[in-house]
Structure 1
Amino acid sequence: MLYNINPLLSPDLLHILRSMGHGDQIVIVDANFPADSHAQRLVRLDGANATQALEAIVSVLPLDTYVEAPVHTMQVVGDPQAVPEIVAEFYQIASNGPGGEVPHQSIERFAFYEQVKNAYAVVVTNETRLYGNVILTKGVIG
């Protein structure tokens, strides 16, 4: 056991987060996402939903302040301006860190899939809410 480490951060996930460099991306996905076919590295958090996973990860992961938006979500198909409840929750959780409000963008579904293929790792959750997918870009600690 370790002090002040969220118990959802398994040894495998902590290793991935520590191994990532500035600009690398990690993706948290819902239970419907085709993670196995898109991930370079895959970690399963079957006991957690996507917001719980995000809270745990951003508790130790600095977000990039050198990019336009270190947080990306998937646009709603047919309604790209829509903001599902879970996406609003993602933005709030990401902005609760030490850096304050975090810029975010949504991207078209298939562009999101392509970006995931280049991500450092994918974290699969048991999230059942639609559009429960978020990409985080790792920053630096000054």
Structure 2
Amino acid sequence: MLKGIPSIISPELLKILMEMGHGDTIVIADGNFPSNTCGQRVVRLDGHNVPEILEAILKLFPLDTYSEKPVSLMSVVPGDDVVPTVWDTYETIIKNNFDKFTSFGFIERFAFYEKAKEAYAVIATSEKALYANVILTKGVC
């Protein structure tokens, strides 16, 4: 065990977070996301939800202050009658860990999949909320 590292962060995920460089992205994916199709590296955190993983990662992970939108979400598909309430939870978590946060970036569904294919890694979760996928851009300490 190490001090100060949230227990939800597996050794594999810790290694990935350490390997990532400035501008690299990581996806925290909900349970419906095609993680294995999109991810170069997939870390499974089954049994966990996106908010708790986001909270733990942001204890260790600097967000990119040079990027206009270092946190991006998948946009709701036009005509889909869904209001993603989980986004409010994300905003609270991010604001508690990143004082320069202003707003999310939004990416259309298929463009989000393409961005995920370019990400350093995808974290597969058991999150049941719809449109709960998030992309984080790493900054510098």
Q: Distance in 1 between matches of 2:91 and 2:114?
A: 22
Query: Which residue number in structure 2 is paired with residue 115 of structure 1?
Result: 115
Q: Distance in 2 between matches of 1:83 and 1:112?
A: 18
Tell me the SS of whatever aligns to 2:129. coil
* Residue 97 (str. 1) matches residue 97 (str. 2): yes
Describe the superposition over 1:21-55 as per-residue Cα deviations: whole angstroms up to 9, x where unpaired. Answer: 00000000011100001001110000210111111
Tell me the SS of whatever aligns to 1:106. strand
> Does the 8 Å CA contact 1:28/1:50 hold for their aligned counterparts?
yes
Tell me the SS of whatever aligns to 2:73. strand
* Residue 42 (str. 1) matches residue 42 (str. 2): yes
CA spacing shift, 1:59–1:123, aligned 2, 3 Å:
same
Q: Distance in 2 between matches of 1:106 and 1:115?
A: 12
Identity among equivalent positions (%) equals 52
Q: CA RMSD in A?
A: 1.5
Q: Point out where structure 1 has 5 or more consecutive residues left out of the alignment.
A: none
Q: Distance in 1 between matches of 2:79 and 2:6?
A: 35
Query: Which residue number in structure 2 is paired with residue 26 of structure 1?
Result: 26
Tell me the SS of whatever aligns to 2:40. coil
Query: Which residue number in structure 1 is paired with residue 88 of structure 2?
Result: 88
Q: Distance in 1 between matches of 2:13 and 2:99?
A: 22
